[in-house]
Amino acid sequence: MKILYLHPNSWTGEYPILLQFVRMGHSVYVLEQDKNLREFHCVLRDFFKEEGDGIQTLWYNSHREWRKILTWPLDVLTKEKFKGRNLFHTMAVIRNALRIFRDADVVICSDGYSYAVPAGLLKRFGLFHKPLVVSFIGGDILDIPEADCGQRRTRFNNRMFQLVYKHADILRPVSPLLKDVILKDGGQAKKIRICPSHMAAQKLFSSRGDLAQFRRMCREKLTQQLGISSDFRIAVAVSGGDYCKGMYLIPDALQSARGHLPSLFVIFVGPVNEYMESVKTKFARLGLTDRISFVGRVHPNEVLEYLASAEVNLNPSLGEGLNMVTVEAGSVGTPSITTEGAGISYWVTSYDAGTVIKAADG
């Protein structure tokens, strides 16, 4: 089979999936944007991420690509409604990719909004005849304004979602939570295939003994690195500093738990932006700074080490399509406390991988 992927960079973990398709004998093509591209036209290369990966990729820069001149009058009319993106220029670039990769058997859109809508419009106008599979990973169809997450359900967006649901051949949400959103929005159940692609992971340990040894090593390394007692009960919270992750709920939760778990120590992993600074300030106001550590951004491999060293992973999500950190925590044997607002809650419950609580429950 020949597969054309639209915007796989919508999620960093899509690349291993593309490589797996190649290993299975499929031909994989990619359309992707590169804002550093200096040419005024699309550039075709014989690899995507790494030389020799065998993924032909059509790169373009939306700020310089010449078709933008032709579509500019129409893009001006829709740009504000389409989250500041150039709807008709993206349609033109997708159409060009379909021409170059004309032998593709199927088109997979890794983004359920910014690329799925233009692809859906092309099908609506009869300019696109390939089967279309659309992935939904969370923010593309969620609408949770109180969590600063998702796409607002404006009249324009409602019409665009309906168009995607109608003209896509397969709708592929990563969790049951997103399936429910699609059904509520009017998507047809017969088109929906839940595909937790984000949960795909390489087996890290050959035995439980190897996992236990890894956890012990990580624990020793962490306590020495942070200079904390080995007797502490460690909880880890990982985020990119987004409001929807609900990290501001942890200070109150720690204060409530301190009487029952006086040795509880919380480690925050991820960039310390303005929002996370406010979380630190809240800890200081509650007098809890002796039981927390903000380690900042770390290498992905180190994230696993932090998770493996902990008794529990904290994911107080206000709302998201899945939650990769909870998947990673499970891969190293660490249970999670997550919320019903995260799509991963279905699997946490199904596999007894932790506890699910109500979203925004402090």
Question: Residue 149: CB partners within 8 Å, gap ≥ 6?
Answer: 138, 139, 142, 242, 243, 244, 318, 319, 320
Domain-located, residue 75: yes
- Whether residues 338 and 227 fall in one domain: yes
Number of domains in the chain: 2
Residue 362 lies in a domain: no
| 295 touches 313 (CB < 8 A) | no
* Same structural domain, 117 and 255: no
Query: Closest Cα to residue 149, out of 85, 240, 243?
Result: 243
Give domain status of residue 183, yes or no.
yes
Q: 274 in a domain, yes or no?
A: yes
My answer on whether 268 and 327 are in the same domain is yes
| 43 and 124 housed in the same domain | yes
297 contact partners, CB below 8 Å, separation of at least 6 = 270, 271
Q: Of 199, 216, 242, at which residue does a domain stop?
A: 199
Lookup: tokens for 205: 């340990």
- The residue among 181, 199, 217 that closes a domain is 199
- Clarify whether residues 161 and 291 are in a common domain: no
pLDDT of residue 13: 78
Residue 8: name the closest of 23, 27, 29, 26 by CA: 29
| One domain, residues 177 and 216 | no
Looking at the domain assignment, is residue 236 inside a domain?
yes
DSSP sequence for 274-297: HHHHHHHHHHHHTT-GGGEEEEE-
End residue of a domain, out of 175, 199, 223: 199
The burial of 247, by beta-carbon neighbours within 10 Å (0-12 exposed, 13-18 middle, 19 or more buried), is given as: buried
327 within some domain? yes
User: Residue 43 contacts by C-beta under 8 Å, 6 or more apart in sequence?
Assistant: 37, 58, 59, 60
Residue 258 lies in a domain: yes
HSE, CB side, 13 Å, CA atoms: give it for residue 104. 28
pLDDT digits over 102-146, tens only? Answer: 999 999 999 999 999 999 999 999 999 999 999 999 989 999 998
3-class SS of residue 235: strand
Q: What number of CA atoms fall less than 13 Å from residue 235's CA on the CB side?
A: 24
Q: Are 33 and 11 in contact (CB under 8 A)?
A: no
* Same-domain check for residues 13 and 35: yes
CATH code of 132's domain? 3.40.50.2000
Residues 195 and 262 in one domain: no
What pLDDT shows up at residue 333?
94
The C-alpha atoms of residue 165 and residue 161 are separated, in whole angstroms, by 6
Cα 13 to Cα 110, 137, 173, 209, 300, distances in angstroms = 11, 12, 15, 28, 12
Kindly give the pairing relationship between strand 149-150 and strand 143-144. antiparallel
Report the 10 Å Cβ neighbour count for 111. 22
Could you list the residue range(s) of the whole structural domain that residue 227 is in? 208-357
pLDDT by residue for the chain (362 residues), tens only, comes to 999 999 999 887 789 899 999 999 999 999 999 999 999 999 999 999 999 999 999 999 999 999 999 999 999 999 999 989 999 999 999 999 999 999 999 999 999 999 999 999 999 999 999 999 999 999 899 999 988 898 899 999 999 999 999 999 999 999 999 999 999 999 999 999 999 876 755 567 888 899 999 999 999 999 999 999 999 999 999 999 999 999 999 999 999 998 899 999 999 999 999 999 999 999 999 999 999 999 999 998 899 999 999 999 999 999 999 999 999 999 999 999 999 999 999 999 999 999 999 997 65
> Same domain for 53 and 173?
yes
Q: Model pTM?
A: 0.90
The reply to whether 217 and 126 lie within a common domain is no
240 in the same domain as 138: no
Check whether residue 189 and residue 221 sit in a common domain.
Answer: no
Is 32 a member of any domain?
yes
